Structure 1
Amino acid sequence: MSVRQSLLAILDQGPCYGYQLRAEFDRRTGSTWPLNVGQIYNTLERLERDGLVVKSDADEHGHVYWEITVAGSVEARRWLTAPVERGPGTRDELAIKLSLAATLPGVDVAELLRAQRRVAAERLESLRAATASAGDGTTPEALARTLVYDSTVFAAEAELRWLDHVERRLAQHPDHAMSLELSTERPRRGRPART
Structure 2
Amino acid sequence: MSIRHGLLALLEHGPRYGARLRSELESRTGATWSLNVGQVYTTLNRLERDGLVVQDGEDSSGHALYRITEEGRSELDSWFRSPVDRSNPPRDELAIKLAMAVNAPGVDVRDVIQLQRHHTLRAMQDYTRLKAGTPEPPPDRPEEMAWVLVLEQLIFQTEAEVRWLDHCEARLVRMAAAAGTRQAEAGTRQDPADDGTPRGRSRRASRSR
State the TM bucket, normalised to the shorter chain.
Answer: 0.7 to 0.9
CA distance in 2, matches of 1:109, 1:35: 34
Gaps of at least 5 residues in structure 1 are 178-195
Quickly say closer, same or farther: Cα 1:13–1:175, change in 2 above 3 A: same
Quickly say closer, same or farther: Cα 1:115–1:175, change in 2 above 3 A: farther
Query: CA RMSD of the aligned region, Å?
Result: 2.0
TM-score, normalised to structure 1, is 0.82
Q: 2:145: which partner in 1?
A: 143
CA distance in 1, matches of 2:144, 2:57: 34
Q: 1:117: which partner in 2?
A: 117
Q: Which amino acid in 1 is paired with 2:137?
A: G
Q: 1:78: which partner in 2?
A: 78
| Residue number among 153, 169, 172 corresponding to 1:170 in the alignment | 172
Which is worse superposed, 149-158 or 139-148? 139-148
CA distance in 2, matches of 1:77, 1:141: 19
Q: Does 1 or 2 have the higher relative contact order (CA < 8 Å, sep 6+)?
A: 1
Q: Which of the pair is proportionally richer in helix?
A: 2
- Identical pairs, percent: 46
TM-score, normalised to structure 2, is 0.77
Give 1:25-174 correspondences, 5 Å limit: 25-89=25-89, 91-138=91-138, 139-174=141-176
- Are the aligned partners of 1:102 and 1:176 in contact in 2 as well (CA < 8 Å)? no
- Are the aligned partners of 2:10 and 2:21 in contact in 1 as well (CA < 8 Å)? yes
Q: Which amino acid in 2 is paired with 1:66?
A: Y
Secondary structure at the residue paired with 1:35?
A: coil
CA distance in 1, matches of 2:114, 2:64: 52
Q: How far 1:36 moved relative to its partner?
A: 1.4
Q: Which amino acid in 1 is paired with 2:176?
A: P
Q: Which amino acid in 1 is paired with 2:83?
A: P
**How far does the alpha carbon of each residue in 1:127-175 deviate from its partner, in whole angstroms, 9 at most, with x for none?**
1111112222223233122111100000100010001110111112118
- Are the aligned partners of 2:53 and 2:68 in contact in 1 as well (CA < 8 Å)? yes
- How many positions carry a matched residue from both structures? 177
CA distance in 1, matches of 2:94, 2:129: 24
Which is worse superposed, 18-27 or 72-81? 18-27
CA distance in 1, matches of 2:60, 2:167: 60
